[in-house]
Amino acid sequence: MNTVNNLPSFFRELPKDLKIIMARSSIANFVFNLNPYNSIYIIALGASGTELGLLTSVSLGLAAISTILTGWISDRVNRKLMFLIGAFIGLLVPLTYILAKSYLWLIPAFFFAGISDGIIQPAWTAMYANSVKNKQRGAIYGITNLFILTPVLFAGLIGGRLVSISGGLTIQGIRPVYLLQFALLVMALLIVRIRLSDRIPAQPKKPLNVKTMLQDYGKVVGRKGVRSWVGMKSLGSLSIGLAGPFWMLYAAQVHGASAMIIAYMVTLRSLTQIVLSPFSGQLTDSIGRKKMIIGGRVLMYTSAAIFLLLGENMWLLMLAWVLMGISDATGIAWQAQEVELVNSHQRARMTALSVAAFNLLAVPASILGGWLWDSVGKYAPFLVMVIIDGLIRMPIIYRYVPESKLLAPEIEEESAI
């Protein structure tokens, strides 16, 4: 398999299914980065910071509930089918935003988003992870990120331009972005439906009942490091998730960033992540997943400090987002560490546990984030994020989660590269 030295040959030699997975992931990332104005749109429709947090908590709570069931079904039945169901429900999200007359109209959108994410994430993560062997996972993930993330470079600029010519950071200005998102999501669904092979896990058949589900999850939780990892992920909603809805609000309301400044921030962050992904992937395989995870977090804390304290200077605001991009590039290590803690036929369940754990505390965390924003100070959600993430989550990874690259290799799917 050729690597970064010969990218065209590398891409040509990839299995067809992995190319389809990459294409859909590329579209999904483009759609997500097309619209960094979601929180601004919701506030413009009349929601307060607390109400924004409450709506976010509804979506995350539904994702936590649905992912446990659908993650297990994905490992037992058909991962492609589960993805298609989730993707169809996901189409209803941008449609609801387009039609919304007030923030109350968005309640169904948050329901649809939560259920859709809960169905899609376990199935899709397992299909992607099982296409790559553990020994070169970091390197392959890093190189495929070049293909998956490159369209993101244009997403922020296209979204920002579309908002600017449609009326700026207003309801009418942002609404056309949702129409474009809908069209792209339809295209992604059709590509997967037509081109991707069925992904039916090869496991002994058992009755699809609660007893089997509990037994299957018990096997996953019993593996070394899984409980510590899941516990650490549960605190993510009280740190990363708590601050998540407020980054762009802070940039716009406190630092006075325009739609195009926000677009440049998103683009710089994405460009940095893309350029450094192959290097990050190689480091992930050589020095280990845990060192990359913790090192990336140190960069994120530095970025947050610059963003909060010095962001009125637009150049320093951009620098903060470049550092965020470097931190994002270490996400390869997070992906590799999580899926390698379990066998290939357990990965949808592992992802389900991880998503559910993160979202379990997300309901109170989102409400807490809104309260901190409205009542304590606009800096407060970010301060809480750094304290919980740096003083609790990272020590758990360092002390209690084994380095996955050192674990005994498992039997992998024949189609994996």
Q: Is the pLDDT of residue 392 over 90?
A: yes
Query: CB-based contacts of 77: which residues, under 8 Å, 6+ apart?
Result: 200, 201, 208
Looking at the domain assignment, is residue 4 inside a domain?
A: no
Looking at the domain assignment, is residue 361 inside a domain?
A: yes
Query: CB-based contacts of 117: which residues, under 8 Å, 6+ apart?
Result: 59, 63, 67, 86, 90, 355
Q: Is the pLDDT of residue 221 over 90?
A: yes
Between 103 and 312, the more confident residue is 312
Amino acid at 93: V
In 3D, which of 86, 50, 61, 58 has the Cα closest to residue 71?
86
Looking at the domain assignment, is residue 288 inside a domain?
A: yes
The structure's pTM equals: 0.81
State the pLDDT at residue 172: 87
State the pLDDT at residue 169: 84
Looking at the domain assignment, is residue 326 inside a domain?
A: yes
Residue 408 DSSP label: P
Give the range of the structural domain holding residue 304, as residue numbers without chain letter: 15-197+223-405
Domains identified in the chain, total number: 1
Between 210 and 363, the more confident residue is 210
Looking at the domain assignment, is residue 218 inside a domain?
A: no
Cα distance between residue 257 and residue 165, in whole Å: 17
> Mean of the pLDDT values across residues 329-352?
92
Encode pLDDT of 7-41 as tens digits. Answer: 667 677 777 888 898 899 999 989 988 887 888 88
Q: Which residue is it, tokens 């590799």?
A: 336
> Mean of the pLDDT values across residues 376-399?
95
Encode pLDDT of 118-163 as tens digits. Answer: 899 898 888 888 888 888 888 888 888 888 888 878 887 888 889 9
Looking at the domain assignment, is residue 378 inside a domain?
A: yes
State the pLDDT at residue 199: 67
Which range, 254-258, 271-275, 320-324, has the best average confidence (pLDDT)? 320-324
In 3D, which of 344, 367, 392, 380 has the Cα closest to residue 79?
344
Looking at the domain assignment, is residue 9 inside a domain?
A: no
Looking at the domain assignment, is residue 209 inside a domain?
A: no
**Whole-number mean pLDDT of the chain?**
87
What CATH number should be reported for the domain holding residue 165?
Answer: 1.20.1250.20
Cα separation of the two ends of the chain:
8
Q: Which residue is it, tokens 């941008």?
A: 94
